[in-house]
Amino acid sequence: MSETELVIPEKLNIAVELVDKNLQMGRGKKAAIYYKDQTLTYEDVYKSVNKTGNALKNLGIGMEDRVLLLLFDSPEFVASFFGAIKIGAVPIPTNTLLKARDYLYLLNDSRANAAIVDEAFVPLIEEVRSELLYLRHVIVVGKAGHSQLSYEKLVNDASDELVPADTGKDDSAFWLYSSGTTGFPKGTVHLQHDILVAAELYGKGILKINENDITFSIAKLFFAYGLGNGLYLAFYAGASTVLYPDRFLPKVYFHIIRQYKPTLFFGVPTAYGAMLQASENMSDIDVSSIRYCISAGEALPNAIFEAWKKKFNLLILDGIGSTEITHIFISNRPDDYKGGTSGKPVPGYEAKIVDQDGNKLPDGEMGTLMIKGDSIAAYDWNKHKKTKETFFGPWINTGDKYYVDDEGYYTYVGRGDDMIKAGGIWVSPIEVENTIMEHEAVLECGVIGAVDNDSLVKPKAFIVLKEGFEASEALTNEIQNYVKERIAPYKYPRWIDYVTELPKTATGKTMRFMLRRLDEE
C-alpha cells in the first residue's frame, strides 16, 4: 500500500478503532478471542472493555494516568489494555517473568497509580509495596486480599456503556518497557496512531490479514511482538486470536495448532528450533491450517528456515521489528523471500544503512540500520539522553548492524551495542554481570552473547575467581542457579568460562568485544 492510502484522523482512540469498529462493521457475533474452552465475540470484548474502562474511571483514573498490567494472556488482559486506552489512560503491559525488585523499579519509574495484576503476582507486589511511591490501587484478577481490590467485583459493578475519551492521534496510548544497556529498562511512549500504522503496513500490507484469519503467537502479549501478533493485528482486520495463559513447551505449540487451527503462527527462532526437535517423536502434528509462519525477535538462521520448509512445507517469514517501532518494518514476504535475511523494507517504511557520522553507505557495506516510519514511538520516558541518541526527526537508530545485498535483501550482522537477544528477549550483560559479581567466589566477570549449536545467541559468562576458589562443574551450576534466583531466570549464563583475567581498557572497563573475539576462536 502507499502511504497516501492510510489517512489518520486527527481525533483518534485506538481502542475504538480496534474494538468498537468491529461492531460497526457487523462483526459483533464473530469470534474475537479463543481462550481455553471459551469463545469471546467482538461484542463480548466490547462490553468487557467498557466495563473495565468504567471500573478504572470509578477509581478516579483518567486521561494520561498510567496503569501497569501484570497479566497473563487472557480476556482480562485485552479488556484492561483497551479499557484503559478508551478512557485516555495509558496501559503498560509488563513482563510476567521478572522479580519483585524489577516491579518496584517499573512502578516507581512509570508513576503508575493503578496496577491490574493476576493473583499469582500479588506476593511480588506486596513484597515491595512499602517502597512504592505512586501506586494507589492494586486490582487483582483472581483472589484479592485486604489491601487490594477485586477486578471481578469492580467490573461487575460497572456499566457496559462507555463514551471514549476525547483523544487525538498524537496522545499517548500505551507504553512498553524495553531493556537498556545500563540494565534499567526504559519506558517507550507510544501514541494512538502507532498501532494503526503498524497494523496497516505490516498486518494488511505484508500478511494480508483478513477476517477469516486466526492468529496464534507464542510471544506473550506483554512483548511488543506478541501484542501485535496476538491482539491488534488480528483486531484491526476483524480476525480472531488464540490466547494461552500458561508457559509454553514445544509440544504444547503443536497441540494448540491442532486444536484451534490458526492460519498465522508467530514464533521466535529458538521456538522453531525446539519445535523441529520435538516434532521428531510426535505423530499427531497437524499444521495444515497455517498459511504462513512468522519469525522475529532475533535473526532466524537459514538452517532452521530450510529445515522447517522441508519438514512442514511452510515458509517462515523472518522480519525485524522493535519495541520502539511498534512492530515489523523489514520483512520477507510470501512471494519475495530469502532465507538467512530479514527481507526488504515493509512498504510505508524507509530503511538506510549509515556510517558512524550518519552518512548513507553504498549497498553491500555494513553499517547502522536507520528506519523512518510513522509507527515509531514518541520518546523514552524520563530518559532524555537516550531519546536524543535514538530518535532523529522522522528517523530512528535501531542499534543494529546490517548490510543490504545487490538484490535488496537486508541481512542482520549484529548489535552496535553489547545487548544480547536470547530467545527473542533482551538481556543486558551489565545486569547479569552485576548479579554474578555478588556471588562470593567471583572476583570479576564479563558477559557476552555466544552462539549455540543452532547458531542462536545465548548469554555466556567469563569469570575470574577469587583466591581460594576453584573452577568446577558444581560451581558453574551454583552460579547459574544463583543468577536464576535473583533476576529473571531466562537471563542466566548458559556457559561459564573461567579465566585468569579479563581484557580491560586503560580506564578499567571490561572490553566485551574482546571477549566476543576470544569466544569465536
Binding site for ligand 3UK (CB under 6 A): 178, 224-225, 228, 296-299, 318-323, 327-328, 342, 398-400, 412, 415, 421, 424, 426
Supply 277's cell numbers: 526437535
Cα separation, 184 vs 433, whole angstroms: 14
Residue type, 214: I
CA-wise closest residue to 96 among 246, 317, 313: 246
Nearer to ligand 3UK, 415 or 484 (CB): 415
Instruction: Please list, in sequence order, all residues whose beta carbon lies within 8 angstroms of the beta carbon of residue 278, skipping any fewer than 6 positions away.
Output: 249, 250, 251, 254
**Least spacing, CB of residue 92 vs ligand 3UK, in Å:** 15
Nearer to ligand 3UK, 50 or 295 (CB): 295
Strands 31-35 and 240-243: parallel
Cα separation, 108 vs 104, whole angstroms: 6
- Where b means 16+ CB within 10 Å and e means fewer, 116-148 reads bbbeebbebbeebbeebeebebbbbbeebeeeb
**Least spacing, CB of residue 449 vs ligand 3UK, in Å:** 11
Nearer to ligand 3UK, 257 or 369 (CB): 369
Residue type, 185: P
Nearer to ligand 3UK, 376 or 502 (CB): 376
Nearer to ligand 3UK, 445 or 457 (CB): 457
Residue nearest to ligand 3UK (CB): 321
**Least spacing, CB of residue 465 vs ligand 3UK, in Å:** 32
Cβ-in-10-Å burial (0-12, 13-18, 19+) of 258 comes to middle
Nearer to ligand 3UK, 57 or 491 (CB): 491
Cα separation, 114 vs 130, whole angstroms: 15
Nearer to ligand 3UK, 90 or 299 (CB): 299
**Least spacing, CB of residue 152 vs ligand 3UK, in Å:** 31
Supply 201's cell numbers: 503496513
**Least spacing, CB of residue 222 vs ligand 3UK, in Å:** 11
**Least spacing, CB of residue 66 vs ligand 3UK, in Å:** 20
Q: Which residue has the cell 520477507?
A: 332
Q: Which residue has the cell 527473542?
A: 424
**Least spacing, CB of residue 296 vs ligand 3UK, in Å:** 4
**Least spacing, CB of residue 424 vs ligand 3UK, in Å:** 6
Nearer to ligand 3UK, 13 or 398 (CB): 398
Cα separation, 104 vs 98, whole angstroms: 11
**Least spacing, CB of residue 498 vs ligand 3UK, in Å:** 29
Nearer to ligand 3UK, 421 or 458 (CB): 421
Nearer to ligand 3UK, 253 or 305 (CB): 305
Give the side-chain half-sphere CA count within 13 A for 388: 3
**Least spacing, CB of residue 443 vs ligand 3UK, in Å:** 31
Torsion angle of the four alpha carbons 408, 409, 410, 411, in this order, in degrees rounded to the nearest 10 = -130
Cα separation, 114 vs 465, whole angstroms: 44
Torsion angle of the four alpha carbons 416, 421, 425, 429, in this order, in degrees rounded to the nearest 10 = -80
**Least spacing, CB of residue 56 vs ligand 3UK, in Å:** 26
Strand (E) or helix (H) holding 209: none
Nearer to ligand 3UK, 89 or 328 (CB): 328
**Least spacing, CB of residue 127 vs ligand 3UK, in Å:** 27
Give me the phi and psi of 344, to 5 degrees please. -120, 160
Inter-residue contact 193 to 374 (CB < 8 Å)? yes
Nearer to ligand 3UK, 199 or 320 (CB): 320
Cα separation, 263 vs 275, whole angstroms: 17
CA-wise closest residue to 83 among 134, 130, 141: 141
Supply 401's cell numbers: 548492524
